[in-house]
Amino acid sequence: MQAVRNLGIRAYEGAFNLFERPMLFVQRRLGMHRVAWMFLLPNLVIFGLFTFLPIFLNFWYAATSGDRILLTERPWVGAANFASLLDCENYLNPNTCHRDLFWRAVHNTGWFVVLQVGFMILFSLVTALILNRDIVLRGFFRAVFFYPVLLSPVVVALIWKWILQRNGVLNAGLDAAGMGTVNWLLDANWAFFWIVFVSIWANMGFYVLILLAGLQSIPGDVYEAAEMDGTPRWRQLFRITLPLLMPTMLVVIVLSLIRAVQAFDEIYVLTGGGPGSATTLLIQYIYDVGFATRPRLFGLAAAASILMAGVLFMLTMLQLAATRKRAVNG
Amino acid sequence: MAMAQAQGRSTFGWLVGRRGRNGFDLTDWFAYGFLGLGVFLMLGPVIWLLLSSFKTEAALQEFPPTLMPMATQTVMVEGFDVPLPLFRITEGEHEGRVLAQIRRVGLNAQMVDPADPETRITVNIAHREPVRVVAVATENYTTVFTRFNFLLYFWNSTFITVVATILTVLFNSMAAFALAKYDFRGRTSVFILIIATLMIPPTITLVPMFLVVSQMGLVNSHWGVIWPAIATPTGVFLLRQYMLTIPDDLLDAARMDHASEWRVYWKIVLPLSAPALAVLTIFSVMWRWNEFLWPLIVLNRSEVFTLQLALNSFQGELQTAWSNLLAMTVLTLLPITIVFAFLQRYITQGIAQSGVK
């Protein structure tokens, strides 16, 4: 242990010595007033290359077609990609659309977001309220609910795939109860139910944690005052707890909305978007069109991602408003 | 007391109890019932995975499955080269005896008593049941190492995680230091610009990011996963907020002693920011270890796959045995589980305070 510690200290010192001379040189050249840029540079270069530059290039891709990745080899098509994505007789019926898969993904994502966020917030709130009681082993329960959050999406998907497979333990239980078995992931409706369920399972611990922190920051004397007035407990829930939790709730709701719109990993591994396109969500559509199937339609993928970015942008604005409200309400 | 009774019966009673009560009433039963169900739903699947990963491929095919990894007990009998499976006879003249089966002939089985290898006994196959013992199939795990190149994928994941985390902590803390401790023109704009990137998740710029990475020649290279990931707005924000609490006097005192700015940063600010750096380190390790979509796009050759990609590609292949897949899944969740077991308090506090994941 001591050896590891010494090695760590030596590495820390070594890194310091390695950078000191060049940094001192830069500091002398820049002067104290501009030395901050030296510290900012690495981060800004990476942001520039991998965040800001791609934003502009994304529009360029969306306005060109072909399967070449180099922009100079791509013919300009203007708004054709957007037009093709938005070409639809009836937006409520994906079958009438030119890009029916895109609209199916839009519909799936819409349902997924509503169901996943709705039920996840409900379950998280109930769990947080219960954990906020005088619970023995609260730390243990909190840790248990949080544990799946840390698991990788691939692991989460495989855990559930193993349970849901045809000879899996769930079917064994149903069979023993005399209810017959179901091919869970090959039935469109059940598959959709399970992607919602698994994604709630994997993520709710995070929201329980945040809601619990919000609940515990509500001062106890508010309740004492209510108690003295003889306010019944259930009324305290609706008149004190939930209103005071509202700012945290808002943040949690918007955050989970933003995440749900971008859901991909565990669903892709669990169902692969199937059966058919029953569980194909937007990100998977973008991945499929742009990378997984040939010819790679980069332009269409970019256009679809710009449309999605619009939705995300609005949600983020909502989040900023919610955060500010929380900051104001303290 | 009368009031407590009334609460006990009210519809929402089990949700609204609070600390400082005494006695165990109906609402507590609901609360603990809910939590018990929660523990079953949250941990059950993981424990089921763990138990299943020790089953032999034959046991995994069984329906209904057994809880524990079981296998038919075998025994070496004199005169036979291979171990023979043991059966308990349930009916007929040999009822109650435990015999080893040599072979099946139609509806009959030719059996032998291990204590008396000379005598052959013929038993109807409906009159015997296998002797089952708990058998841990550790070979699931060993084949993962020998046949499936697990160590290669483990190394790939570890390399990406460690290098990206070191660079993340270094670069983000440098930027945070500049934003927290210097007064320069454009500071606010830079800060807003960095925070604004929170609004642009990488999922919406996949195509142009792929162009940048491929133009840098980083497709199928681990650096193609590392570079785009290491400038995180979350990290800069987290560290900046923490560094704001470090008093400027400390820095100025060092400058009086002719310390360079690099020395001020490395020898004073970094050690004092250790708690925030620890939180970012944990986040970064989790992000990189679990990352899936971007590596899926950048890494296409199996020798550069991360663990997550390897798992995904094996589950897609039809001929991959569940026994190996389950063992590999357990090995993949193990590092994160160990980290969580030791740093549980740190992680949950860090997340509750910063509101990021």
Q: Is residue A189 over pLDDT 50?
A: yes
The 3-state secondary structure of chain B reads: CHHHHHHHHCCCHHHHCCCCCCCCCHHHHHHHHHHHHHHHHHHHHHHHHHHHCCCCHHHHCCCCCCCCCEEECEECCCCCCCCEEEEEECCCCCCCCEEEEEEEECCEEEEEECCEEEEEEEEEHHHEEECEEECCCCHHHHHHHHCCCHHHHHHHHHHHHHHHHHHHHHHHHHHHHHHHHCCCCCHHHHHHHHHHHHHCCHHHCHHHHHHHHHHCCCCCCCHHHHHHHCCCHHHHHHHHHHHCCCCHHHHHHHHHCCCCHHHHHHHHHHHHCHHHHHHHHHHHHHHHHHCCHHHHHHCCCHHHCCHHHHHHHHHHCCCCCHHHHHHHHHHHHHHHHHHHHHHHHHHHHHHHHHCCC
Percent of chain B exceeding pLDDT 70 equals 91
How would CATH label the architecture of B70-134?
Answer: Roll (2.30)
Specify if A136 maps to a domain: yes
Per-residue pLDDT band for B135 (boundaries 50, 70, 90) equals confident
Residue A41 lies in a domain: yes
**Which residues on chain A are in Cβ contact (under 8 Å) with B231?**
42-44, 46-47, 50-51
Does the pLDDT at position A87 exceed 70? yes
Higher pLDDT, B202 or B43: B43
Interface of A with B in 235-264 (CB under 8 A): 236-237, 241, 251, 255, 258, 262, 264
Contact of A214 with chain B, judged by CB distance below 8 Å, is answered with: no
In this predicted model, what pLDDT tens digit does every residue of B30-46 receive, in sequence order?
888 999 999 999 999 99
Looking at the structure, do residues A174 and A39 belong to the same domain, yes or no?
no
Among B204, B215, B314, most A C-beta atoms within 10 A, so best to mutate, is B204
Both A117 and A238 in a single domain?
yes
- pTM of the prediction? 0.85
Does pLDDT of A188 surpass 60? yes
If asked whether residues A53 and A102 sit together in one domain, one would say: no
Q: Where are the domains of chain B?
A: 70-134, 141-354
User: Would an 8 Å CB–CB cutoff place B294 in contact with chain A?
Assistant: no
Answer with the one of A44, A59, A74 that is the final residue of a domain: A59
> Does residue A96 sit in the same domain as residue A52?
no
Confirm or reject contact between B196 and chain A (CB < 8 A).
Answer: no
Note whether residue A289 is domain-resident. Answer: yes
User: Domain check: are A96 and A37 in the same one?
Assistant: no
pLDDT tier at B92, thresholds 50, 70, 90: confident
Mark whether A304 and A210 lie in a shared domain.
yes
| Residue B319 pLDDT | 65
**Where among A40, A59, A78 does a domain terminate?**
A59
A205: domain range? 89-329
Q: Which residues of B touch A142 (CB under 8 A)?
A: 348
Domain total of chain A: 2
Of the candidates A50, A205, A212, which has its C-beta nearest B227's C-beta? A50
Average pLDDT over residues B138-160: 88
Are B312 and A39 an interchain contact pair (Cβ–Cβ within 8 Å)?
no
Looking at the fold, whether A258 and A305 belong to one and the same domain comes out as yes
Which percentage of chain A shows pLDDT scores above 70?
98
Residue B6 has pLDDT above 50, yes or no: no
Closest CA in chain B for residue A197: B41
Between A312 and B168, whose confidence is greater?
B168
Q: Give the per-residue pLDDT at A132.
A: 87
> Could you tell me if A41 and A184 lie in one domain?
no
Query: Above 80 in pLDDT, residue B85?
Result: yes
**Contacts with A155 from chain B: Cβ below 8 Å:** 311, 329, 332-333
Domains B70-134 and B141-354 share a fold: no
- Pair A169, A106 in one domain: yes
Class (C level, CATH) for B141-354: mainly alpha
Q: For residue A311, is it within any domain?
A: yes
